Amino acid sequence: MFRLALLTLLALPLLAQDRVGTVQLRVSTDRADWRYQPGQPVRFHITAIQDGHPLLGAKVTYKIGPEMLPPTIEQTVPLPATGLTIDGGTMTDPGFLRCIATLEFKGKTYRGLSTAAFRPEALQPTQQDPADFDQFWAAGIAALAKIPLDAKRTLIPEYGNAAANCYHLNLQNIGAGTLPSRLYGILCEPKAPGKYPALLTVPGAGVRPYRGIAEMAARGIISLQIGIHGIPVNMDQSLYDALGTAALAGYNTYGLDNRDRYYYRRVYLGCVRANDYLTSHPNWDGTNLAVTGGSQGGALSIVTAALDPRVKGLAAYYPALADVTGYLQGRAGGWPHMFRATEGPMSHRTPEKIATTRYYDVVNFARRVKVPGLYTWGFNDETCPPTSMYSAYNVIPGEKQLLLALETGHNNIPEQVAQVNAWLVTFLKK
């Protein structure tokens, strides 16, 4: 009976089978290095594949224009199996021309982009450098120095490893005016006795907990990873989620109408306070101190290197807060894009707020960075546009190296991280 049933089953025709696969919508330039001279035409090529083969019967919408600005070309057309090549035009001045493509397939939208560079090494900031910039920050550092460090730390065994101990650390920091606040972070230090270099890791935007960089401590580097919001960094994620959608939502523009009350005053000086602790650590080697971070943390890396002469080097991923006034001059500006909106409740285009940004814009700190640095980003970044990042990079007087991961957006790839970490370890332990 069983044999008969099996034979009957095998004799049945195969039922129709559905398949599912990720659609990849790719946009590329006609030059492998993505670079053009002003006036040279760009041709973008758009392809869509599924399971390694062309996606048939799709329509694609493409938009082309200067990054972050309204498109100058917009079309919806059928996408041939061989792909679509488009004349993207050109730019007459240094900058970036971007093609963004989208298509709909089975109820889902797929998106791809590519960004052509026109002499980005010639980009210069739009932001003004105030005459009293150095005096303003010297006064802030002097006020910070009057506040005792008052360091408190608590061992967190589960954050460490066989070679490193990790602690929840909190320090006294400057607050509103000269009033104190607290700065929190995760300190990781080598277990073995000895003298070690130190690395400050500064955070990207948002509100979240941190676990420290125990792997750096295991490699013989004292590591301190800080938060910026004056709250402990080892609590449940739900608390940070609540703060990020309520009390700390939009923190990046709090107090923007006054340079003494802007949110980032306490943040920038807090990075110096973190270095106060690292350079007082009994196991610090007395010489080697670097800072690293991405996005907001890339900005804070540049800021800290400019403000604190104890910093000997930095590694910055896709720095934010750079040349934020670009939008006032008809080109892309840096995150948090406070001047992108020209009117309405999202606009911050007032004389007072524009004036405040002059004291906090990364380009004005970049002008003062004299120590070696490794900087890295991609051309497809839509959070920190490459126009804004090059505007800061191009005015750095110190020794600098740029590591490009061209196709990346506001993210990094393993090869990029490995190279940055190797640079940091070599730099700190030379």
43 and 172, same domain (yes or no): no
Which of 70, 88, 122 marks a domain boundary?
122
Distances (CA, A) of 170 to 153, 182, 230, 270: 6, 6, 9, 11
232 and 331, same domain (yes or no): yes
Q: Please report whether residue 16 resides in a domain.
A: no
96 and 220, same domain (yes or no): no
157 and 88, same domain (yes or no): no
Which of 122, 147, 182 marks a domain boundary?
122
Which of 75, 93, 122 marks a domain boundary?
122
108 and 233, same domain (yes or no): no
How many Å separate Cα 334 from the centre of its chain?
A: 11
Contacts of 349 (CB under 8 A, 6+ apart): 328, 339, 341, 342, 343
The pLDDT tens digits for 316-343 are 999 999 999 999 999 999 999 999 998 8
225 and 354, same domain (yes or no): yes
Q: Please report whether residue 327 resides in a domain.
A: yes
220 and 111, same domain (yes or no): no
Number of folded domains that form the chain: 2
Q: For residue 184, what are the domain limits? A: 133-428
**Whole-model pTM?**
0.94
Q: Please report whether residue 13 resides in a domain.
A: no
Q: Please report whether residue 18 resides in a domain.
A: no
Render each residue's pLDDT in the chain as its tens digit; 430 residues: 444 444 444 444 555 676 667 899 999 999 999 999 999 999 999 999 999 899 999 999 999 999 999 999 999 999 999 999 999 999 999 999 999 999 999 999 999 999 999 999 999 999 999 999 999 999 999 999 999 999 999 999 999 999 999 999 999 999 976 678 999 999 999 999 999 999 999 999 999 999 999 999 999 999 999 999 999 999 999 999 999 999 999 999 999 999 999 999 999 999 999 999 999 999 999 999 999 999 999 999 999 999 999 999 999 999 999 999 999 999 999 999 999 998 887 889 999 999 999 999 999 999 999 999 999 999 999 999 999 999 999 999 999 999 999 999 999 999 999 999 999 999 999 8
Q: Please report whether residue 9 resides in a domain.
A: no
Residue whose entry in the numeric block shows the structure tokens 């002499």:
119
99 and 142, same domain (yes or no): no
Q: Please report whether residue 91 resides in a domain.
A: yes
Give catalytic residues, as residue numbers.
Answer: 295, 381, 410
CATH of the domain at 351: 3.40.50.1820
Q: Please report whether residue 128 resides in a domain.
A: no
Q: Please report whether residue 60 resides in a domain.
A: yes
CATH of the domain at 42: 2.60.40.1930
The pLDDT tens digits for 92-106 are 999 999 999 999 999
